[in-house]
Structure 1
Amino acid sequence: MSTDNEEYVYDEATGEWVSAGALAARQAAASSVEVRDSVGNLLADGDSVTLVKDLKVKGAGTTLKRGTVIKSIRLTGDEQEIDCKYEGIKGLVLRAEFVKKN
């Protein structure tokens, strides 16, 4: 151990003693995911996207047409899914491969 005042914790994933700050930074980097649209653009919370193909919405009995604009998306933590709102459809989750950033 070091003689400085920094706290060290045991990282079970690597089997090493590391500083608490370094472990927190490593875990934050591992938990952040990059969500990319169908053409490779990086998506972020609040972006607007356009559908690139017709999608049947399960449970709603409707089809969202290609070219439909979805405003103010939210990232879910999954690199392939985005959460969004659209009139008349609650809890709409789209796959990132079917949208293009505006």
Structure 2
Amino acid sequence: MTDAATADEDYVYDEATGEWVPASQLAADGGGDAVEVRDAVGNVLADGDSVTLIKDLTVKGANQTLKRGTVIKAIRLTGDAQEIDCRYEGIKGLVLRAEFVRKR
């Protein structure tokens, strides 16, 4: 790198190491915030996975019950180890607990 490139780069304080590191290095390391989300049987979930419900769930505010065996496609991880964000027809902003799903 040239001196001009390092002078223009942003630095971020890394609480894990207690040092200031270049933002590009922190992004390459994944930020260190990776939360491992596991389903009811211990499988690791990732963004875009499909899951199946293992229990009937009553959805608050939607007056609807999602039945056991319902397939939810294209989940998104929220950063919380027990919550996944997903879409289902007729329900906006659906967040499920990982303990009630199984990876498909």
Structure 1 and Structure 2 fold alike (TM over 0.5) = yes
The gaps in structure 2 that reach 5 residues or longer are none
TM-score (norm 2): 0.75
The equivalent position to 2:66 in structure 1, one of 64, 67, 75, is 64
Name the amino acid aligned to 1:100: R
Name the amino acid aligned to 1:84: C
Distance in 2, Cα, partners of 1:70 & 1:12: 36
**Structural RMSD (CA):** 2.7
The equivalent position to 1:88 in structure 2, one of 76, 83, 90, is 90
Distance in 1, Cα, partners of 2:90 & 2:14: 46
Figure out how many residues of one structure are paired with residues of the other and give that number.
96
The gaps in structure 1 that reach 5 residues or longer are none
Structure 1 residue 28, shift from structure 2 partner: 1.6
Distance in 1, Cα, partners of 2:17 & 2:52: 45
> Deviations 1:8-56 (Å, cap 9, x if unpaired)?
x8x68578556558x8377822x11001000000000110000000000
After superposition, residues 1-102 of structure 1 pair within 5 angstroms as 13=15, 16-17=18-19, 20=22, 24=26, 28-29=31-32, 31-102=33-104
> Deviations 1:51-97 (Å, cap 9, x if unpaired)?
00000000000110000000010111111000000010010000000
